A and B are shown apart, each in its own frame.
Chain A
């Protein structure tokens, strides 16, 4: 008798659970206006910088409506960067001739799209979401520059430096698309450079239709120093005196140790 009552109660709970699910499902449909939602998942989203770290890979995958093009952006938060600019001195020698301050720039910027950005998005939309180098150029500030032409020149040089460090990259046509049950699955595998510093990076996918962004979804990639690397970095930055003394003592000890090893040979310089 007791067992029958338990079974009844269990069936009752399952029904309640189903009703709640249906309500939530209904709310979801009302909110988005469509059954299919844009999704994104960054695989390997917690990268640990340990002593043997030499970069990593990050795969981004998800689902989108059929008939939409996709743009995937992975970027750090925006900040300011100070760089030295080289120029000719006395018309002959290349030297550092001053600093340029770059404001509102991400330290890492990856942008990958299913097709050429200019073909699938209007200029206004690209500017609105800072999609592509020309849009990023219009978004950031560079000081001191005297004209838009000069700004473009130093923006292009900035991109060259960042691309050589592998922290800026763009491509079109590299996102793999496969269709399944009236939806499209997308996937891209990216090399994550060891030059990317610790911090929080945002991966955003933009679904694009009729030259407009119709939907976006976000995911995060956390890069964090751990263990010995973290300890050494923190000591170097926060306890420079102790760090300096340890560095000197280790060097002196190593010098003496090797001197003693070679003692038999005379070791004179």
Chain B
């Protein structure tokens, strides 16, 4: 008996406990720093360490519940959660989550699912990462003292288009006015991604809130975590109930690392400026994108994988 190894009852494999705890710590740090769930990093890493892809995605959602509970609680205490905006994002997210879990089943039955998912993933990450990097670098150069809250708010055609949407309402905590449809649609979009790819969607939600919804950065992080928390609760339940792919033991090992990592990241994040945080997040997103592109272009060592993954 080697106490360093535990057998995972749903993943049906044995793993050195230091691996999930260490991985949890890394993504927890990211979560604490940027308000992202870290799923876009963790799911591929778990697959790399021999966890079946469907179990990796579902279990990741489970551990994000823990990390984002910790984060949302901390932000709620200092008044940095826009519950009104969060609830509309959630509404869209719940519908998106249900659609996403069903989409997995439909996509798995068709041969082109992987192509559609990966191209969308690469494009999304690439566009978001590049835009965020350029925008934050320009802001940093303009003035070291100018934070994201004081962004250039010139009205573009896109902004005018958003303002012409019906059901305009004011979000007091964020100090912005938008159509109710906007957070619902983007919440739905993130919900689908969360279910299909096992990501919380924070890496998309944060830029959406900053650049499209024009929310202040400190409210963005808290509201993003609030939305991710409920999204991942729903996805975890649906994955456990429908696909039987949540590994409780793996989730506990991951959350030991991620909950502590999130708090350490939050403490570290307070020492950095909003623009600096955005540059680092943009670089991480672009590195992950490059890794996915390399994996797609290089001939894989194995041409077969267990069905049920993607």
Contacts and interface: CB of A to CB of B under 8 A. Distances in A.
Contact of B269 (A252, A259, A269): A269
A95 B248 contact: no
Chain B at the A interface: SS class = helix
Interface in A133-160: 154, 157-158, 160
Contact of B305 (A86, A194, A251, A257): A86
Contact of A83 (B67, B267, B306): B306
Chain B contact-residue range equals 35 or more
Interface in A213-269: 225, 228-230, 232-233, 236-237, 240-241, 243-248, 250-252, 254-259, 261-262, 265-269
A232 B248 contact: yes
Given A53-B14, A54-B14, A243-B248, A157 B303 contact: yes
Contacts, number: 223
Given A251-B255, A269-B74, A164 B302 contact: yes
Contacts of B252: 250, 254
A182 B63 CA distance: 63
Interface stretch (A3-11, A44-52, A60-68): A44-52
Interface string A147-181: 00000001001101100100000000000000000
B240 A267 contact: no
B21 interface: no
Given A158-B304, A240-B242, A245 B267 contact: no
A55 to B, nearest CB: 7
A164 B270 CA distance: 45
A266 B264 CA distance: 11
A84 B117 CA distance: 15
A254 B305 contact: no
Interface residues of A, number: 64
B305 A84 contact: yes
Nearest to B255: A254
A50 B74 contact: no
Given A53-B7, A232-B248, A256-B70, A96 B259 contact: no
21 contacts: A84-B304, A85-B304, A86-B300, A86-B302, A95-B114, A160-B304, A236-B240, A243-B248, A248-B62, A248-B236, A251-B62, A251-B65, A254-B259, A255-B73, A256-B70, A266-B266, A267-B73, A267-B267, A268-B74, A268-B222, A269-B225
Given A233-B10, A241-B237, A246-B248, 7 more contacts: A52-B1, A86-B303, A160-B303, A240-B244, A247-B240, A266-B78, A268-B222
Sorted nearest first, the 8 A-B pairs with minimum C-beta distance are A255-B69, A244-B240, A267-B74, A258-B259, A232-B9, A96-B114, A251-B65, A251-B66
